[in-house]
Amino acid sequence: MSYVGPDFDPPQPRRSALRRPLTVAVAAVVVGAVAGWGVWQAVGDSGGGSGANQAAGQTPRSATNAPATSAGSPSGEPTASEDGKKASPSASSSSPATDGPLKGKVVVVDPGHNPGNFQHTTEINRKVNIGTGTKECDTTGTTTNDGYMEAEFTLDVSRRLRALLEQQGATVKFTQDEDRPWGPCIDERARIGNEAEADAVVSIHADGSGTGSRGFHVILPGSVNEGTADTRPIVGPSRALGERIAGKFVRATGTAPSNYVGDGTGLVTRQDLGGLNLSTVPKVFIECGNMRDSNDAALLTSGAWRQKAAQGISEGIVSFLRG
């Protein structure tokens, strides 16, 4: 997520050395492509890569495996479509189930970054106040070595999570659903949760650490009382939320806590994240894995694993909200 520094190079467009020789071949391929369109319509995209990667100058990357179906769904329908976009008809707020254990609860899901941030570096580099100082409005996020964007990953997991929470009766609001060209800034992300008077807020991310760094970790707000930031009222409930999510995430995904931060607990406390510093409601971040490690990347690019990740986060939120 935000560990990407100024030395991070955004993925560059891939150029084919065979562009000119392929000109003649294109005409022959068109006929086959038309026939192939019908097959593609029947099987659908496997998720992961989308037009947002093209906007970033990347060759779209498909994630492997379709999401699992929901055991709690009487119809056996998937909890989300294969690209994660079928979870809810609304980009900003869901239509909750009429009944369920989370009826009356509001959950804000914050998909980290935005696929369009790559094209709006001036806007996202603008400094905003985080209470204890200033920080960049947002960042591009990281990618796997094969070019699968963190911003695509966070949206997919968030949409799957929304579907699961709606089944429990919750009202789910997003900070962004690829419905804006960039952002929002970190201070606005916090404000969305505050103004919604959310019962819980979870910001979805994946890390960009070095090879060999593996596992997930949940970031908790530290005690901050400076400037416009005062996290003291939310430190306790945020820790309870983070602990529930960490425990359920291990069980649902089978992955271990981070081997490079958190001393094996899967929990990290930070005071430098505006999204936490400016929150007035219980909020945590979760780094679901390290995109720069090939073993973790194999999980993060799997639709089936992303469904498990969403399930673990959902179960943690439900456990927290039900007390």
Task: State the catalytic residues.
Answer: 287
Alpha-carbon distance values, 184 to 181, 209, 249, 300 (Å): 9, 24, 27, 24
DSSP state of 229: E
Q: What's the half-sphere exposure (Cβ side, CA atoms, 13 Å) at 124? A: 19
- Comparing CA positions, the residue from 156, 177, 181, 171 lying closest to residue 201 is 171
CA distance 238 to 231: 10
CA distance 89 to 179: 12
Length of the chain: 323
Tokens of 18: 């065979």
Element (H, E) at 230: strand 229-230
DSSP string covering 67-110, please?
PPBPTT-TT--BSS-TTS--S-S-SSB----SSSTTTT-EEEEE
- Comparing CA positions, the residue from 287, 311, 151, 154 lying closest to residue 218 is 287
